[in-house]
Amino acid sequence: MTVILVIKPDGMTVSLDSGDPVASAQHFCGGSIDRLPEAFHELEHYEVWHLDDWHAQPANMPASALIGLPDDYEPLRGTVVLTPLPDGQDSRAERAHQRRFFGMLDAVESGFCTAAEAQIGLLIHVDRADAA
């Protein structure tokens, strides 16, 4: 059995034994789930799962704070489930890789280098007003 942590938007947190952590995350989140990339949380030994289509869900400030989501990002929404990584595995290398990649995107966006210099091919910027 694997112990998972279920965090509701109202702050209620439950620790449960689970045979299949990913299936449990789907059940408690209420549908199709996504894994939050390691670059956006500080947990080294856990996966963070949230509802794929979370836009109509209430903000989950307790989960956002617990995982160390930076304040300048939109908070997680709906129920969030933390599942442990297999014994002996952590996310430090993946987090470092993702932060380098997102850092290069920020450098291109800020004008410090071109997309070609950053070796990311092409960066398309969409303003929020244009996205609506």
pLDDT tens for each residue of 15-40 = 888 788 888 888 888 888 988 887 78
Residue 32 DSSP SS3:
coil
pLDDT band at 132 (very low <50, low <70, confident <90, very high): low
Above 70 in pLDDT, residue 1? no
Handedness of CA 26, 14, 89, 38 (dihedral sign): positive
Q: How far is CA 63 from CA 43, 83, 89, 100, in A?
A: 12, 13, 22, 25
Give the start-to-end residue ranges of the domains of the chain: 2-84, 92-131
pLDDT beyond 90 at 4: no
Segment 63-94, tens digit of pLDDT: 999 999 888 888 999 999 998 887 776 666 77
